[in-house]
A and B are shown apart, each in its own frame.
Chain A
Amino acid sequence: AQSVTQPDIHITVSEGASLELRCNYSYGATPYLFWYVQSPGQGLQLLLKYFSGDTLVQGIKGFEAEFKRSQSSFNLRKPSVHWSDAAEYFCAVAPGYSTLTFGKGTMLLVSP
């Protein structure tokens, strides 16, 4: 079955520093991959998605992710983190028609 693993439960980054959140997937073929963000007390919002083509995907709020087949990874990056980026981030894969399987999430803390 398709699955995703987010190795980091918590990450703390200084405001203005760069960010990379890790996601590894398990799937034989090219997966559909996603990153979502959940701000406190809110539902999830889609940041970006990868289906095929260019392996570097641009998303909203200045985020990007790179699909690396050789490493089975889809890591999320941002060059300069803002305090408002503090949230929980979920990587997800599409195991079947219209459904998503989510990772366990990574909580991002931003220090002043």
Chain B
Amino acid sequence: DVKVTQSSRYLVKRTGEKVFLECVQDMDHENMFWYRQDPGLGLRLIYFSYDVKMKEKGDIPEGYSVSREKKERFSLILESASTNQTSMYLCASSLVSDNYGYTFGSGTRLTVV
């Protein structure tokens, strides 16, 4: 079964810490995405990547960066975590040939205290 795996289900971090959220897919998908999900706001796109070492800003990139050194792995980085980054983070991937056929991970619930 194809999968998008997010390394942590729950994370608690302190304000000011550098936080890494990891996402790995085993489907050889070219496209990868990071969304955050907040009650009443739905999903909002943070960053996405079409290929290794490529990245594009989404709708809310401020306070985040990403890294894609290998095709299967897409990392979201919070350079200095703040309480307003407490959220559910969802990773997704898709094939270039099926751009909207997203496969989502189960999410990482991050709490910044």
Contact = CB atoms under 8 A, between A and B. Distances in A.
A103 B48 contact: no
Contacts of B104: 43-45
A48 B105 CA distance: 18
The number of chain B residues touching the other chain, given as a range, is 20 to 34
Nearest to B56: A99
A9 B40 contact: yes
Nearest to A42: B106
A99 B41 contact: no
Nearest to A94: B100
Interface in B57-113: 58-59, 90, 92, 94, 96, 99-102, 104-107
B43 interface: yes
A49 B102 CA distance: 11
A29 to B, nearest CB: 16
A43 B100 contact: no
A28 B100 CA distance: 20
Contacts of B44: 102
Nearest to B100: A94
Contacts, number: 53
B42 A90 contact: yes
Contacts of B105: 43
A99 B102 CA distance: 9
The number of chain A residues touching the other chain, given as a range, is 20 to 34
Given A97-B99, A100-B100, A101-B45, 7 more contacts: A42-B107, A43-B90, A43-B105, A94-B100, A103-B42, A104-B41, A104-B42
Interface of B: 4, 31, 33, 35, 40-45, 48, 50, 58-59, 90, 92, 94, 96, 99-102, 104-107
Interface of A: 9, 32, 34, 36, 41-46, 49, 90, 94, 97-105
28 contacts: A9-B40, A32-B100, A36-B102, A42-B106, A42-B107, A43-B90, A43-B104, A43-B107, A44-B43, A44-B92, A45-B104, A46-B101, A46-B102, A90-B43, A98-B31, A98-B48, A98-B50, A98-B99, A98-B100, A99-B33, A99-B45, A99-B48, A100-B100, A102-B42, A102-B43, A102-B44, A104-B41, A104-B42
